[in-house]
Structure 1
Amino acid sequence: MFPILRIGPLALQLPGLILLLGVWLGTHLIEREAPRHNLSAGIFGNMVFFSLLGGIVGARLGYALRFLRIYLEDPSGIFSLNPNTLAPFEGIAAALIVALVYGQRRNLPLLATLDALTPGLAFFAIFLGLSHLSSGDAFGAPTMVPWSIDLWGASRHPSQIYEIVTAALIFLVVQLLKWRSPFPCFTFTFWILLTAISRLFLEAFRGDSVIIFDGLRSAQVVSLVIAIATMLGLHLLAKRQNRADV
C-alpha cells in the first residue's frame, strides 16, 4: 500500500489526492453528459461542487459524532485532512440532500438529472477503489490463492483490486446503456442495481466486514435490500413508460 506521497519536505495523503482526481474527472464527465439531457453543464458543475462540500462536511461531522469523546478532547482534530476520518454514509446522505435542494431550486427534472449524473458517479467509483488500494482500507480476508497479497501480517484477497475491476466493468456497461435507455432514469437505476449486486459479491472477500445476526455481513444485507428495491423501481418505471406510450 502507498498511503503517503512525499515530495521533498511535503507528505501528501495519496488516498485523498486520488479521490480529488476522481471527483474532478467525474465532474467533467457529468458536465459533458448534461447537454445530452438538455440540461446546463454549468448548473450541473455547480450542483456537484456544492454537493461535494456538503458531503465532506456531513462525512466529517458524522465521523465526529461517532467518536464524540475524542473530538471533545481535541476539537482541532475535526479539521484533519485525513480521508479515513470521514463517515461515508453520512457524507453520501448530506451530498444527496444538498443536490436535491439545489436541483429543486434550479427546477432541474429529477429523472433526467439522475441519468446525467450516472456516468460521473460510476467513473468516480473506480477512483474510490484506487483510494482503498492506496490506503489499505477495505482489505481482503485471509486466503491462500496464488494471487493473494501480503497485508497486515497475512496473505489476503486483493479485494481492492476486485473493487477496481468491478467498478470499471460497471462503468463500461453504463457507457453502453446510456445510448440505449428505454425510459428516463433507467441508466441511474440499473447502475444502482449493478453496484448493489457487485457489493453482494465483493463483501464475501472482505476481511473488515461488520458481522450482524450471527454471521451475516451488514453490507450484504443492505445491498440485497437495495437490489430488490431497484428491481422493483425498474419494473414501476417500465410500467409508467408503457402507459405513456399507449
Structure 2
Amino acid sequence: MLSLLAFQFQSPGPILVELGPITIRWYGLLIASAVIIGVFLSQYLAQKRNINPDLLGDLSIWLVLAAIPGARLYYVAFEWEKYAQRPEAIIAIWQGGIAIHGAIIGGAIAALIFARINRISFWQLADLVSPSLILGQAIGRWGNFFNSEAFGTPTALPWKLYIPPANRPPQYAEEAFFHPTFLYESMWNLGVFALLIYLFFWGLKHPNRYRVGTLAFVYMAAYSCGRIWIEGLRTDSLMLGSIQVAQLISLFGIIVGIFGLIWLYQMRHSLPDVVSKQKTINNE
C-alpha cells in the first residue's frame, strides 16, 4: 500500500524564469497569486453578507503594506545575529525568510486602524478575511518547496522531500530526504479553509445563531493546532532560548481561539450578529 503512495518531492529551484535582468521567482509568484485570489474571495464573501466589497478591496492594500514588512521584521528580529552582520540582506525578502505570525500581527494592526478610521466592525472584517488568509497560507507554503526551506527532520517515508546539500542543516549534512512540512501545513490549511467556508455559509442560513467573530476565532484555534505539531518536525524554527517561537505563539492562538468562542456563544457577549451589522457596515 505504501508503495502506491510513494512520491519523492524534489524542487526544480527557486527561479521560474529569467528574462534578461528580470528574474521571476516561484516564491513571489505564489505570494502574488495568494493575494489576488484572497482579495476576490473576501469581496465575494462580503457580497454574500450584503457588505460593500469595495471595503475589502481597500483593506487588502492596507493588509499587504503591513503584512509583508511585518512578516520580514518578525523573522529578522529572531535571527538578528545573522542579519546584524549583513544588514543589506534584511530587505532581500525574495531569498526567503518571512514568518506568517509576523504577517498576521502586522495585518491585524492595520485592520484595527482601518476599522477605526472607517467606523466599521473589526470582527466583521476579520471574519471576511480569515478564509482568504488561510487559503493564502496554503498556497504560499509551496514557496518553501521551491526554495528548499522550512523542511522537517530526516525521514524515509514514501512522500519524502529531497533537499540539496547546500540547503541541509550541518547536523544533517549526510542526509538527503526530509519531512515535507510545507506539504503537511498546506494540506492542513486547506482543511481549515474548507471548515471556515462551511461555517460562513452555515452562518448565512442561521443568522440568528451565528455570531460575528466566529470565523476569526476558529481560524486562530484550528490553524494553531496544526502549526504546533508541524513546527515540532522542523529543523529551522525561530527560537527563543530553547523554545520554538511558532509553537509558543500557536499555543497562545489555541487558547485565544477557544476562549473567544466560549466568550461569544456561552457568555453571550454583545458582539453584534451578522444581521444587525449589515446596514452599519455597508459603506455605500
Which TM bucket (shorter chain)? 0.7 to 0.9
Q: Return the match for 1:230 from 254, 257, 266.
A: 257
Aligned-pair distance for 1:86?
4.2
Q: 1:197 to 1:64 in 2, by over 3 A?
A: closer
- TM-score, normalization: structure 1? 0.85
Return the alpha-carbon distance in structure 2 between the equivalents of residues 212 and 98 of structure 1.
Answer: 26
Alignment-mate amino acid for residue 70 of structure 1: R
The CA deviation string for residues 76-95 of structure 1, in whole angstroms up to 9 with x for no partner, is x5554525254554443232
SS in structure 1 opposite 2:261?
helix
- TM-score, normalization: structure 2? 0.75
Return the alpha-carbon distance in structure 1 between the equivalents of residues 74 and 181 of structure 2.
Answer: 26
Is 59-68 or 228-237 further displaced after alignment? Answer: 59-68
Q: Return the match for 2:142 from 118, 130, 134.
A: 130
Q: Aligned pairs, how many?
A: 240
SS in structure 2 opposite 1:6?
strand
Q: Paired residue for 1:164? A: 186
SS in structure 2 opposite 1:5?
strand
Is 16-25 or 199-208 further displaced after alignment? Answer: 199-208
The CA deviation string for residues 146-191 of structure 1, in whole angstroms up to 9 with x for no partner, is 2212213521111111111111111111111112243221122112
SS in structure 1 opposite 2:202?
coil
Aligned-pair distance for 1:18?
0.6
1:203 has 2:214 as partner: no
Q: Which has the higher contact order (CA 8 A, sep 6+)?
A: 2
1:191 has 2:203 as partner: no
8 Å CA contact 1:48, 1:99 repeated in 2: no
Return the alpha-carbon distance in structure 1 between the equivalents of residues 216 and 106 of structure 2.
Answer: 19
The CA deviation string for residues 10-33 of structure 1, in whole angstroms up to 9 with x for no partner, is 432211111111011011101111
Aligned-pair distance for 1:68?
4.1
Alignment-mate amino acid for residue 182 of structure 2: Q
Q: Paired residue for 1:94? A: 106
Alignment-mate amino acid for residue 224 of structure 2: A
Return the alpha-carbon distance in structure 1 between the equivalents of residues 179 and 131 of structure 2.
Answer: 28
Aligned-pair distance for 1:36?
2.5
8 Å CA contact 1:138, 1:159 repeated in 2: yes
User: CA RMSD of the aligned region, Å?
Assistant: 2.6
